[in-house]
Amino acid sequence: MKKWIPWIIVTVVIFSIYNWAVGFNNTAVEKQETAKTQWANVESAYQRRADLIPNLVNTVKGYASHEQETLQGVIEARSKATSTTIDPSNVTPEQMAAFQQNQSGLSSALSKLMVVVEKYPDLKANQNFLELQSQLEGTENRINVERNRYNLSTKEYNILIRKFPAKLLAGMFGFEAMVLFEAAEGSEKAPTVEF
């Protein structure tokens, strides 16, 4: 019986390590997939905004046709913003910065459009425009909520794979940190709007 004790101990240790490794892997996969899903929700919210823009531009065009430069700026910014896609599991900080820059460009173009709208009281009273403006505001709120949820799920995943001793397994299993969505440079300053 005494000769079996070392074998039993080794077996228990190996089984414990195996269970710990499997548990870590499954938890890391779950948290990584949650973060990827949250990124898809971020992109979906941005896509909703992009889908609203043609209707908004067409509505404004009917009232402010001589504001072609502003309208063209919105259309070009939308095109640039929708052409950038990201795989959240392989994203680099540079790719995230480019994505954010394109989205900020679209936000800036939309802000300019809203300033132009102030010159047209009939447009501001148009029910279709008011509805589109309300949907756009709601979408901007959704974008913020989804970005925050993405960052939260990404943070949980990153913490899991960076803690010791899980960090050792993360490297062996190929789990790498995911990039957080950060505020664009200069966004801490309120924009100046002049009429």
What are 20-43's pLDDT values in tens digits? Answer: 888 899 999 999 999 999 999 999
Q: Is residue 36 part of a domain?
A: yes
Q: Which of 62, 146, 51, 66 is nearest to 106 (CA)?
A: 51
Q: Is residue 178 part of a domain?
A: no
**CATH, residue 82:** 1.10.287
Measure Cα distances from 173 to 29, 49, 58, 66 in Å: 10, 37, 51, 59
Q: Is residue 109 part of a domain?
A: yes
Q: What is the pLDDT of residue 82?
A: 86
Distance of alpha carbon 121 from alpha carbon 33, whole angstroms: 48
Percent pLDDT > 90 in the chain is 22
Query: pLDDT band at 101, cuts 50/70/90?
Result: confident
Contact 112, 70 (CB under 8 A): yes
Contacting residues for 89 by C-beta, under 8 A, at least 6 apart: 32, 36, 176, 178
Q: How many domains does the chain fold into? A: 1
Measure Cα distances from 66 to 2, 20, 60, 159 in Å: 94, 67, 10, 53
Q: Is residue 194 part of a domain?
A: no
Q: Is residue 185 part of a domain?
A: no
In terms of DSSP H, where are the helices of the chain? 5-63, 68-83, 93-117, 121-125, 127-162, 166-173
Residue 30's domain spans which residues?
A: 2-173
Q: Is residue 8 part of a domain?
A: yes
Query: pLDDT band at 184, cuts 50/70/90?
Result: low
Q: Is residue 193 part of a domain?
A: no
Measure Cα distances from 137 to 13, 30, 124 in Å: 57, 33, 15
Q: Is residue 40 part of a domain?
A: yes
Contact 154, 180 (CB under 8 A): yes
Q: Record the pTM.
A: 0.76
